[in-house]
Structure formats: structure tokens, C-alpha cells
Structure 1
Amino acid sequence: MQTLATDPAYTTPIYGQGEAAQIIQAPPTSFARWAHGHRFKQRTAGEWGWSPPLLTGVKDGRGYTVPFNALAEGFIIESFRRVGLPMARIRPAVEVLREEIGLENALLSERLMTDGAEILYRNGEDELVVVRNHQGVFNEVVAEFLKSISYRDGFAQLLRLPAYESVEVIVDPNRNSGQPTVAKLGVRVEDVVSRVRAGEAMDEVAEDFGLQRSELRSLVLRAA
């Protein structure tokens, strides 16, 4: 049975690596480490270790190498980091989910949550546990940023980019080839802001697209 984790629309590369990092507003160097893994020097032994990739399905080389699923995984990792969850907690949790629970696309699961200190997972008994040590959690606090993700059949379907505060901007691989899209218009953010960059008056562009000036300003500022 095909799921969003295996649907070609979600697994076919449609972004460049730098483009993907810009969409989710993650540092390009961090995104590269998540996508391809990285070497690190172990403090105690003084030897080199290897951290495997956290994102799934990213290809090597240039051009379009990042599928929507990997973009969504990166979005979730960056969201975790922004609420203060360190990579030292994120990486082991993803490894546990993949190896012990058998979730290859663990970060895309609707059962994934955070309380701001740990990554949590709702198990088969509908109990919320800390992924890192499998201990139960009794005071459930689900971070607001997870509301930026819409799910279907248990997996991430589309993202809402919270950086655009005054207007809803989504990323959906089935709309505009996965490019950031103004939800209520169905047009790419780039199609709107390019007219402002070309020198057209803000009021004229806003009127043509049926946008409030504040909404257009948000698009222009965040897409810069």
C-alpha cells in the first residue's frame, strides 16, 4: 500500500539543497550535515566518528537532490532546534525510532511530538514516551510549531511556513511543484514578489492579487 512516505510526489527530488535550506530557514551548512551526515572528532578518544544522515532520500550531486519528504524532515529538525531542543537529543531519538521502532521516516510521523526538552512518541498503547529512554510522560505539552504541519494517513502532507506572519504560505509537493505558495491565492510567493522587485508599486500589486498591503509586505520581507 502506497503512503506519503513512498509516493513519488513526496520522494522525487524537486529542490536544490540551498533552496531547501532557504525555504525552511535553516543554515545551509546544518542542512548539508542533516542530509549527508558528517565526520566529527570524538572528545575522549581523539578519533574521528561518523554521524549518519537524518534526512531521507537526498541525492548526491548538484541540481534537484532534495525531495519534499526530506524538506519536511529538515523543517521539523529546525523547528525542534528553535524551541531549544539540542541536536544531542534529536539525533539519538531519530536513531531509536528508526532502529528500534522501525520508522524510517520517523520525523514525518504524526505520532512525533516534543515537550521542548525531549522528543516524544505515542506508542501502540497510546502512551506518550520519551524516545531516548522510553520513559512515560504524564504532563503532555505539544509545541505550537507542530500545528504548522498537516498530516494525511499518519505522515506529513504539507507545511505552513510560520515566517510569513501576516499571510498563510504553504509548501505542498502537489501545488506549484512544491514551491512556497500563498494558500488563499494558489500562486507562488515568487510570482507575487517578483513584480515588486521589478519596480511595480506595492499598492498595485496588492490590488491585482487581492492582498492586504500588510500581507504583501510580509511576503516581500520574508522572501528576500
Structure 2
Amino acid sequence: MFSGTGIYSIREAARLIQVPPRKLGRWMFGHNYFSKTTGARLSSSALWTPQPVAVTAPNRLIGFADLLEARFVSAFASYGVPLRVIRHCLASAQSLYRVKYPFTTLRFKTDGKTIFAEAVREASANASLVDLNSLQNVFREIIRPSLYAGIEYRGGNALKWYPALRREGIVLDPARESGRAIVEDTGTPTDVLYASYVAEGATPRAACHTARIYDVPLRYVRSAIKFESHLSALNH
């Protein structure tokens, strides 16, 4: 396996960024479908080629950079931006910035509005269903500071991601535990702590017992429980 890239199944990645697995799979690997108009079999290509995360892999896997970029794609999609606009915006930004994952860059945060507006105009010229005015006005709402706040950068590249407030001590670091969500100070996966807490009865005493078993400060066990409980609630 390739060190420092992170390894996620589509299901796990979808859980972490709160996207339906089927939708994320289509973004990452493309899909075939039938046209409702003609009945013809058509195909939609992947938005980009995922990181190589393993020499041989029985399942479809993606890397840490893919995970973060897909999180931004999800932000666009949640505001009703059509995939063709997202695709055009992505391609333009890739070409301009000369990077594979432009949405995650801080540069896109500051000057991506122009690229997005051009992508909307391009799509609008070919599809009357795209409401040019409404889409052009949502960029600031989509690319909000909170999308970038938890990402730690080095040399313009995303190094790690804190999915909650940093004081919670939860991080996704592709160089540690294959990018799983962990307690940063101890390296203990949050899902392991949460599973122990649930198995012990999901009580305050269970949290204390889990902290003793795994030698993790109780406040970080509570952070892990909060984080995993939040993900579970969002994905059910």
C-alpha cells in the first residue's frame, strides 16, 4: 500500500462526509444509466481518477485527498448545483491551478468564484434548466469558511483534517492508521472507542471503563463518542 494516502471504502468515506454511498461511488468511479428520453444506455465518467491506495484491491477504494475533494463536491451538490457545472468548474480549476484537487486548495476559496461563474455560464448556454442567476449567487454560501476551517495545510496541500473543533482532539491524518478518524494524542481510532462504549452499556460508567481499557483520557473518549454518535445519527 502507498504510505500517507489514506485508505477508505466508499461506504466509510460516505459516512465520514455524510454523502449517500451510491452517489459518492458515481462521483469517484462513474456509472452507466438509461436515458429517460430515449431509453439508450449511457455512461457518466468519474469526476477524477482516485488516488492509488493499494497495489491490489478487491473493493473500490479512495484516498484522503479524494475524501476531502468529494466533501466539496457534496457542498456544491447540496445547493442544487448540477453535476455538469461541478465537472466544468473542477476541470477549469485543475487546468488553472495545475493541481488534481483544486476545490480543497485555499486558492479556490479566495478566487474560485470566477471559475464557478464561468462554469455556470457554460452550462447555461447548453441547458435551459440551469438557473444562471440563482446559481451565481450561491458560491459564497457553498464555499464557506467552515469547509476549510478544520483542514491543516502544508505548502498549499491538505495535510490532515479535524472534522470537529480542534479542542475535541479528533483528526483524520492519512499518515496515521490509514487515515481513520483517531484521537490525535493517542492514535486510537474513534470507532474502536465508540464500539467499546456501546458494548459496555453506553453509560457514563462505560465511557470511564473504555478510557481505562484503552489508556485514553476520558475527555477524548467523550469526544470520540460524540463524534461517532453524530455520524451514526446523520447516516440513519
- Say whether the fold is shared (TM-score over 0.5): yes
The structure 1 residue matched to 2:226, chosen from 186, 197, 218, is 218
8 Å Cα contact 1:16-1:62 kept in structure 2: no
Q: What is the match of residue 198 of structure 1?
A: 199
Q: Distance between the aligned counterparts of 1:134 and 1:29, measured in 2?
A: 25
Higher fraction of strand: 1
Contact 1:38/1:51 (<8 A) preserved: yes
Q: Map 1:132-143; keep pairs closer than 5 Å.
A: 132-133=117-118, 141=140, 142-143=143-144
Cα displacement (A) at 1:10: 4.3
Higher relative contact order (CA 8 A, sep 6+): 2
191-200 or 102-111, larger mean C-alpha shift: 102-111
2:159 — aligned with what? 157
Greater helix fraction, Structure 1 or Structure 2: 2
Percent identity of paired positions between Structure 1 and Structure 2: 22
1:14 aligns with 2:7: yes
Using the alignment, how far apart are the partners of 2:172 and 2:221 within structure 1? 22
Match of 2:175 in 1: 174
The change in CA–CA distance for 1:98 and 1:41 in structure 2 (over 3 A counts) is farther
Partner of residue 93, structure 2? 97
**Aligned positions, number:** 203
Alignment correspondent of 2:147? 145
Shift of 1:34: 0.8
Deviations 1:149-203 (A, max 9, x none): 22211122222224x8993532111122211113355421022112112225632
Shift of the 86–202 alpha-carbon distance from structure 1 to 2, 3 Å rule, reads farther
Alignment of 1:4-43 (within 5 A): 8-11=2-5, 14-40=7-33
CA contact (8 A) 1:169 1:180 kept: yes
Relative distance call for 1:167 and 1:85 in structure 2 (3 A) is farther
Q: Tell me how far 1:29 sits from its aligned partner.
A: 0.5
RMSD: 3.8
Unaligned runs of 5+ in 2: 121-135, 212-216
1: distance between equivalents of 2:106 and 2:178?
Answer: 23
Question: Which segment drifts farther, 59-68 or 141-150?
Answer: 59-68
The 5-angstrom pairing of residues 117-136 of structure 1 reads 120-121=111-112, 129-133=114-118
Residue identity matched to 1:112: F
Offset of residue 21 of structure 1: 1.6
Contact 2:197–2:207 at 8 Å: present in 1 too?
no
1:181–1:133 Cα change, 3 Å? same
Answer whether contact 1:168 1:182 (CA < 8 A) is retained. Answer: yes
Give the TM-score of the pair, scaled to structure 2.
0.66
C-alpha distance in 2 between matches for 1:107 and 1:181:
25
With normalisation by structure 1, the TM-score equals: 0.69
Structure 1 runs not aligned, ≥5 long: 1-7, 115-119, 122-127
